[in-house]
Amino acid sequence: MDELELDATLMNKWLGDKKITDLSPKTLYDIQSLIEYYRDVIVPDKNVKIKFPVEGTPCANPDDMEIEIPYSMLAEGRIDNTIGAMIHELRHIQDTPVRAETVAPIWAMLNTILNSLKLPNGKTLAEVVFSDCSYSLDRIVAEPDEDEKADPHLDFLREAVGLLFGLANACEDVRIDANTPPNLKKYIDGIDSRAWAKFEEAMKNDVIEDWDFLQATIFRFLFHHKGFYKDEMIEKYSPSTQSIIENDAVGAIIDTFAGFRDLCQQEVARLYDNFCPNKSEQGNDGQGNNELDMFNDYVGDMVTEEVQKSIATQAGNAKGFEIDPKDVSAIIENLKEDTTLEAENTSGDKEMSNELCESNGTVNAVVLHTKKTAKEFSKSMNSDHRAKLISAELNTQIQNFKNIQVHTTTEDFGTNQNTTYDCVIFDATKN
């Protein structure tokens, strides 16, 4: 880990003389201990477990009272950022309701949208996707199982729930960060400014191709409400920053969904078209007139209703949303018209840039920017090129400091003189 620049400005101030200059196992252990100290300050009344996994992104699980702060940030030398991530995750434990409460408005929103969208065969998306009676909320929000057989409907539902979760989470992040005491918030501000610098650059260079869709909107929402820039679209549809900050978690999520309902509906239609492309364009099939078809439709409708009801019960009660019914095909048609236009423009730009490059003889004269989706952008934002993951071996070394106990003892060794000495004990029973 040589040549690693350590960013521990705030933390060094806190430590006084004992500056962090290296990332030895002992330093990493001290940082972990400090993190545990912050935990006792921020959530003294709760028994929160902190895990330091070897890789991943910081996250909190209010249900299990557990947070994860991966080593990767530390391994990149981002000590202040690590503290910031930890404070943010602890604030979730302190302030974000358990999943049972936050999942209710998210599911209510998705369910309303699924019932509002019609396919060319006259059925709603809800009628089509919930014809599988094996769906449960747990299955939909679960990570895909490798042995699970391919199921476009389930994949579609997972992606849609994930995106709505993303918007709800952005809203909750704005709320809890703004309500974090200033002495702790400065660490979170450090992470935000770093992320903003990357986003601002992507924005300036017009790199994000799905700028007007939900994934990019989630970023725009965050940076707008955190005061980094003014986004007119967000201002138009979102509840005000003030109302998000002063609201409770679920109330703020409901207001945010209500504001962005048309965008969310469009996104769900788009996702359905991505996952099940033939169905959204299909003509009037399946509207059979024979008795067997009518019987199947009848039974099918009952199954669908049952599945919807049971998932709604699993998700918990939430205030409903009002969304105008729309045809999936009309939404897709609209989007296709817009994208064709954009695609033409983009290829035009690229050609022109290449020409300029050649005529100038230098690549630097015109920087070519590769377009990315907001999802790809978010992945590139999380991983740093310098990221070196900590090895399992180093992890063991760090954890071993927990087992070391220093006892100061005074003893008379028979010389009528007291000798004071330090005794180092390695407690192998701890882990």
Residues 261-300 as x/- pattern, contact with Zn ion by CB under 5 A: ----------------------------------------
Helix (H), strand (E) at residue 412: strand 404-412
Least Å distance, CB 342 to Zn ion, is 32
Contact letters (x/-) for Zn ion, 120-159, by CB under 5 A?
Answer: ----------------------------------------
Stretch touching Zn ion by CB under 5 A, among 62-70, 103-111, 129-137, 172-180: 172-180
Q: How many residues bind Zn ion (CB under 5 A)?
A: 1
Backbone angle region of 361, left / alpha / beta, with phi > 0 → left and psi within -120 to 50 → alpha = left
CA distance 361 to 381: 32
Q: CB of residue 377 vs Zn ion: minimum separation in angstroms?
A: 18
CA distances for 13 relative to 16, 42, 315, angstroms:
5, 20, 46
| Residue corresponding to tokens 């590139």 | 380
Q: How far is CA 4 from CA 8, 23, 86, 112, 269, in A?
A: 12, 9, 22, 51, 46
Shortest Å distance, C-beta 77 to Zn ion: 23
Q: To the nearest whole angstrom, how small is the minimum distance from the Cβ of residue 189 to Zn ion?
A: 14
* C-beta of 173 vs 192, nearer to Zn ion: 173
Smallest gap from residue 376 Cβ to Zn ion (A):
21
- Nearest Cα neighbor of 251 from 260, 262, 241, 243 is 243
Angstrom CA distances, 35 to 31, 39, 68, 88, stand at 6, 6, 11, 12
Residues 214-249 as b/e (b if ≥16 CB within 10 A, e otherwise) read bbbbbbbbbbbbbebeebeebeebbbebeebeebeb
Q: Does 173 bind Zn ion (CB under 5 A)?
A: yes
Q: How far apart are CA 310 and CA 320, in angstroms?
A: 16
Report the residue closest to Zn ion, judged by CB: 173
Range 361-370 contact pairs with CB under 8 angstroms and sequence separation of 24 or more: 367/205, 369/205, 369/206, 369/207, 370/207
Q: Which is nearer to Zn ion, 14 or 165 (CB)?
A: 165
Query: Which H or E run contains 107?
Result: helix 99-116
CB of 83 to Zn ion, least distance (A): 15
CB of 218 to Zn ion, least distance (A): 12
Of 42 and 268, CB closest to Zn ion: 42
Which residue lies nearer to Zn ion by CB, 129 or 191?
191
Q: Which is nearer to Zn ion, 175 or 279 (CB)?
A: 175
Q: Does residue 210 bind Zn ion (CB under 5 A)?
A: no
Q: Find the part of the chain contacting Zn ion (CB under 5 A) among 11-19, 136-144, 165-173, 334-342.
A: 165-173
Of 394, 275, 281, the closest CA to residue 328 belongs to: 281
Shortest Cβ 88–Zn ion spacing (Å): 6
Contact 224, 71 (CB under 8 A): no
Side chain identity, residue 260: F
Closest approach, Cβ 164 to Zn ion, in A, equals: 15
Nearer to Zn ion, 173 or 255 (CB): 173
Query: Which lies closer to Zn ion via its Cβ, residue 76 or residue 173?
Result: 173
Q: Which two tokens stand for residue 194?
A: 């770093």
* Residue 237 · residue 261 · CB < 8 Å: no
Q: Which C-beta is closer to Zn ion: that of 184 or that of 331?
A: 184
Q: Which stretch binds Zn ion (CB under 5 A): 65-73, 166-174, 227-235, 320-328?
A: 166-174
Among 67-75, 140-148, 169-177, 296-304, the segment contacting Zn ion (CB under 5 A): 169-177
Span near Zn ion by CB under 5 A; candidates 167-175, 186-194, 298-306, 358-366? 167-175
Taking the complex as a whole, the smallest distance from the CB of residue 59 to Zn ion amounts, in Å, to 8
Which spans of this chain sit near Zn ion (rule: CB under 5 A)? 173
